């Protein structure tokens, strides 16, 4: 919308230049048409190659699957907005160099204001993409560390979707389930130092306390995930399993504060050491197997990435390569 308003303003300002309004519109239409023709040509070539993907089964979701898709979409939108910003900036600069400053001062001011707004929104989107990438890397790291628990015959699942979001990780022990929420936090510099980083945080029953901020959302999310799993597993499998909420904070040294939290664990996930001795003993193998099957049905991946270039996946194309994904929920 902002780009469209800017184009209208620059069109109104387009007077004493080398190009007419008609020339500008034709050039714009040529660029758009060329882009769409190239896009459709790529799809057509992919479909005519008659080569098919060997992967025809849905696999389990990897750590950070939802965030990786979100980061991919953000990068695509950011790239398109950068191109639009560059085009608008070029038009604006061309007008400034060919129009007396006193003419249409109001429109010039509005155009400059919109350019500033473009830059501000691009910066916000860049910061958002950086945060999403940090979250993805945190989930990937935590997932790889929790996978070490498979040596202890535990089952580990990642990125379980349901109606309230995603459960980052689930560890199915022998008689207990851990619903793990990952919290990736950048480390600030220690006050009065040039290179030393803060490395320690603490928590109580209500909040996480970092050197530069405090947070209660992660604890609330982990408790919500655990409550949902306990109820849904009981409803779908008829098995009652203890579900313990866990908040994993990779890279931080964690100290328990007062009052201590008794219903939730806050851990550094390195090598899964904190959960290694908390998997319990098998009391009902058949019940645990039913729970494992429940998660195997919950966690298949939505859409294989190679369908984007695969002939079978060509029908999934839509404008600007925005993939159609089914937002699934955890079902047993």
Which secondary-structure segment (H or E) carries 200?
Answer: strand 200-203
Say if CB 276 and CB 228 are below 8 A apart: no
pLDDT tens digits, one per residue of 292-331 = 999 988 877 654 444 444 444 444 444 444 444 433 333 3
Q: What local confidence, expressed as pLDDT, does residue 66 receive? A: 87
Distance of CA 192 to the CA centre of its chain: 34
Confidence of residue 259 (pLDDT cuts 50, 70, 90): confident
Confidence of residue 98 (pLDDT cuts 50, 70, 90): low
- Quick one: 167 and 272 in the same domain? yes
- Quick one: 177 and 69 in the same domain? no
State yes or no: pLDDT of 15 exceeds 60: no
Say if CB 189 and CB 197 are below 8 A apart: yes
Q: What local confidence, expressed as pLDDT, does residue 306 receive? A: 43
- Quick one: 293 and 159 in the same domain? yes
- Quick one: 160 and 270 in the same domain? yes
- Quick one: 218 and 243 in the same domain? yes
Query: How many angstroms separate the CA atoms of 303 and 300, rounded?
Result: 9
- Region 204-222: mean pLDDT is 92
- Compute CA distances 70 → 67, 89, 135, 185, 325, whole Å: 5, 28, 11, 19, 12
In the numeric block, the tokens 């997932």 are attached to 143
**Domain assignment present for 122:** yes
**Domain assignment present for 209:** yes
- Quick one: 31 and 67 in the same domain? yes
- Quick one: 293 and 316 in the same domain? no
Q: In this structure, are strands 208-209 and 200-203 parallel, antiparallel, or unpaired?
A: antiparallel
Q: What local confidence, expressed as pLDDT, does residue 46 receive? A: 67
**Domain assignment present for 146:** no
Look up the pTM and report it: 0.75
Q: What local confidence, expressed as pLDDT, does residue 315 receive? A: 45
- Quick one: 160 and 286 in the same domain? yes
Q: Which domain holds residue 24?
A: 2-140+305-321
- Quick one: 270 and 309 in the same domain? no
Cβ neighbour number for residue 144 with a 10 Å cutoff: 17
Q: What local confidence, expressed as pLDDT, does residue 162 receive? A: 86
Choose the weakest-confidence range: 53-57, 179-183, 235-239.
Answer: 53-57
Cβ neighbour number for residue 315 with a 10 Å cutoff: 11
Q: What local confidence, expressed as pLDDT, does residue 107 receive? A: 65
- Region 222-239: mean pLDDT is 93
Q: How many domains does the chain have?
A: 2
State yes or no: pLDDT of 149 exceeds 90: yes
- Quick one: 110 and 222 in the same domain? no
């Amino acid at each position: 919308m902002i780009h469209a308003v800017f184009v209208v303003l620059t069109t109104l300002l387009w007077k004493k230049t080398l190009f007419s309004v008609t020339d500008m519109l034709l050039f714009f239409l040529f660029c758009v048409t060329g882009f769409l023709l190239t896009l459709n040509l790529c799809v057509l070539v992919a479909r005519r190659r008659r080569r098919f993907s060997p992967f025809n089964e849905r696999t389990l979701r990897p750590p950070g699957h939802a965030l990786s898709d979100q980061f991919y979409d953000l990068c695509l939108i950011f790239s398109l907005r950068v191109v639009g910003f560059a085009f608008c900036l070029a038009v604006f600069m061309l007008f400034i160099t060919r129009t007396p400053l006193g003419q249409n001062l109001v429109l010039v001011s509005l155009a400059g204001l919109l350019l500033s707004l473009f830059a501000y929104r691009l910066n916000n989107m860049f910061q958002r993409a950086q945060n999403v990438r940090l979250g993805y890397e945190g989930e990937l790291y935590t997932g790889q560390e929790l996978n070490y628990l498979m040596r202890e015959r535990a089952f580990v699942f990642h990125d379980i979707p349901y109606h309230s979001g995603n459960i980052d990780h689930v560890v199915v022990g022998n008689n207990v389930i851990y619903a793990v929420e990952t919290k990736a936090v950048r480390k600030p510099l220690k006050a009065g130092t040039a290179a030393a980083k803060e490395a320690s945080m603490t928590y109580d029953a209500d909040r996480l306390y970092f050197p530069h901020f405090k947070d209660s959302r992660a604890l609330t999310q982990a408790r919500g995930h655990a409550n949902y799993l306990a109820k849904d597993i009981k409803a779908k499998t008829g098995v009652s399993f203890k579900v313990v909420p866990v908040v994993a904070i990779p890279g931080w040294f964690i100290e328990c504060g007062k009052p201590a939290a008794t219903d939730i664990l806050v851990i550094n996930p390195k090598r899964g050491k904190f959960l290694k001795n908390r998997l319990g003993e098998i009391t009902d193998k058949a019940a645990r197997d039913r729970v494992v099957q429940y998660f195997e049905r919950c966690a298949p991946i939505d859409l294989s990435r190679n369908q984007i270039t695969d002939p079978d996946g060509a029908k999934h194309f839509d404008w600007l390569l925005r993939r159609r994904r089914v937002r699934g929920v955890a079902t047993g």
